[in-house]
């Protein structure tokens, strides 16, 4: 059995439904320590929601000047998985790795235990080939990515910032591909900003509207206006910012009562052309223009980030081309990922993992060939970084 497959299966066998890690990070530590990684387990969160985080670092000293700090590549990801849903719907037990028609089935097989295994095995092979590499390698792994993500990657990033830890390049192993591993990588993500709007009216009998104030009627023209706003036009990396209503609630349930308030939940997915402040201000000005009495509660889910095509994206693109014969499509679509936190402390962040067609679904799976391809691509990225750094030393 291939080493990548073996480790993926060990990880899938751990019942690590978010925020549980089960024994996943220990399995990783058992492989990282012999390679020379210093491993730190960082427990965070309240007693009823304990999150397990792993920060592991193997430091390289540049041969030219051992006093200098070598650049740091960090592999990031998560050991937690989403719940299985009804077990009856699965063709085989979600936590028993099963093979059918060249595919490996199990919860986490594509999101993202396969990526963790591919990272570890690629590193083992890389260090065999390069016992004294020119860059440091780190692992930032959490068990709180699929949940609220309050005590996971964000907490470790805060700690790393306090310590002044250098981070140059990051590969997040989220499943970003469509058909073949490496056909799409994410070099950024949109930001997310949610709001809860409470519009005040006056409750009353529906037959006496002159004695009441209907908040549904009051907010309707403002909502129509908000739906039509062009918040920005996007840019070369991002589609335009969007605004969507997710919930509207008003009414007592009775059909003869004008409700006293109307609650509207909404969300912006925004690009780097808009800011939290600019979006908040513009939305408020519409509400004020309609002379509404209201309160607003905001939640910033994540700021947008972008890694423009440059040296690191180039290395990743070349590695993918060498393995696949064609370059990856760069994309910033999809939901948020932990990349949003890492981008605050690391210069260049990209996301690269297996196809995502079955993630979070019943009968989640990965093609065995894609598992090996992923390991090859990660290894090739490591090799190309090493080659580039050796070239720099030679030419200077």
Q: Which is nearer to Zn ion, 111 or 124 (CB)?
A: 111
**Residue 111 interacting with Zn ion (CB under 5 A):** yes
Q: Which is nearer to Zn ion, 239 or 334 (CB)?
A: 334
Smallest separation, CB 172 to Zn ion (Å): 9
**Residue 112 interacting with Zn ion (CB under 5 A):** yes
d(CA 243, CA 265): 11
Q: What is the DSSP code (8-state) at residue 8?
A: H
- Which region, judged by CB under 5 A, interacts with Zn ion, from 36-44, 108-116, 131-139, 307-315? 108-116
Name the catalytic one among 9, 124, 144, 145.
Answer: 145
145 part of the active site? yes
- Which region, judged by CB under 5 A, interacts with Zn ion, from 25-33, 105-113, 256-264, 341-349? 105-113
230 part of the active site? no
Edge-to-edge strand list for the sheet holding 365-367:
98-100, 103-105, 365-367
Q: Which is nearer to Zn ion, 168 or 370 (CB)?
A: 370
Name the catalytic one among 80, 125, 151, 261.
Answer: 80
Helical spans, DSSP H, in the chain: 3-12, 24-32, 113-129, 153-163, 215-228, 276-289, 311-324, 339-342, 368-395
Q: Which is nearer to Zn ion, 174 or 380 (CB)?
A: 174
Q: Which is nearer to Zn ion, 111 or 364 (CB)?
A: 111
> Residue number with the shortest CB distance to Zn ion?
111
The residues in 154-213 that bind Zn ion, with binding defined as CB under 5 A, are: 174
- Which region, judged by CB under 5 A, interacts with Zn ion, from 46-54, 93-101, 103-111, 234-242? 103-111
Contact 232, 241 (CB under 8 A): yes
d(CA 172, CA 306): 14
Residue/partner pairs of 22-25 with CB below 8 Å, 24 or more apart: 22/79, 24/79, 24/113, 24/116, 24/143, 25/52, 25/54, 25/79, 25/141, 25/143
Smallest separation, CB 78 to Zn ion (Å): 6
**Residue 364 interacting with Zn ion (CB under 5 A):** no
Residue in 131, 125, 114, 119 with CA at minimum distance from that of residue 36: 131
Residues whose CB falls within 8 Å of the CB of residue 34, separated by 6 or more in sequence, listed in order:
none
Smallest separation, CB 302 to Zn ion (Å): 15
Catalytic machinery residues:
80, 145
Chain positions contacting Zn ion, by CB under 5 A: 111-112, 174
């Amino acid at each position: 059995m291939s080493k990548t497959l073996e480790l993926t299966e060990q990880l899938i066998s751990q019942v690590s439904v978010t925020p549980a890690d089960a024994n996943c990070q220990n399995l990783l530590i058992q492989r990282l320590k012999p390679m020379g990684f210093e491993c730190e387990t960082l427990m965070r969160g309240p007693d009823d929601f304990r999150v397990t985080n792993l920060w592991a670092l193997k430091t390289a000293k540049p041969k030219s000047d051992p006093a200098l700090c070598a650049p740091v590549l960090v592999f990031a990801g998560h050991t937690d998985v989403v719940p299985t849903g009804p077990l009856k719907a699965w063709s085989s037990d979600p936590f028993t790795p099963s093979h059918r028609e060249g595919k490996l089935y199990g919860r986490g097989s594509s999101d993202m235990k396969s990526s963790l295994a591919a990272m570890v095995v690629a590193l083992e092979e890389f260090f065999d080939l390069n016992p004294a590499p020119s860059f440091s390698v780190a692992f930032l792994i959490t068990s709180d990515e699929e949940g609220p993500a309050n005590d996971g990657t964000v907490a470790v990033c805060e700690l790393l910032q306090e310590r002044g830890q250098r981070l140059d390049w990051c590969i997040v192993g989220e499943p970003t591909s469509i058909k073949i591993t490496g056909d799409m990588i994410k070099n950024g993500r949109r930001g997310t900003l949610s709001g809860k709007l409470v519009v005040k009216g006056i409750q009353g009998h529906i037959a006496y509207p002159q004695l009441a104030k209907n908040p549904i009627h009051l907010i309707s023209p403002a909502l129509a206006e908000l739906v039509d706003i062009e918040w920005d036009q996007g840019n070369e990396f991002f589609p335009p910012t969007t605004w969507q209503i997710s919930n509207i609630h008003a009414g007592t349930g009775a059909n003869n009562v004008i409700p006293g308030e109307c609650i509207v939940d909404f969300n912006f997915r925004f690009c780097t052309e808009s800011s939290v402040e600019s979006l908040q201000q513009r939305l408020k000005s519409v509400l004020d223009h309609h002379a509404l009495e209201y309160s607003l509660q905001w939640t910033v889910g994540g700021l947008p980030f972008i890694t423009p095509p440059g040296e690191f994206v180039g290395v990743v693109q070349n590695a993918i081309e060498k393995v696949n014969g064609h370059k990856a499509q760069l994309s910033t679509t999809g939901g948020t990922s932990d990349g949003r936190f890492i981008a605050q402390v690391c210069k260049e962040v990209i996301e690269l993992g297996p196809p995502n067609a079955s993630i979070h679904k019943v009968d989640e799976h990965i093609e065995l060939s894609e598992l090996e391809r992923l390991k090859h691509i990660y290894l090739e990225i490591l090799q190309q970084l090493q080659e580039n750094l050796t070239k720099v030393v030679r030419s200077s």
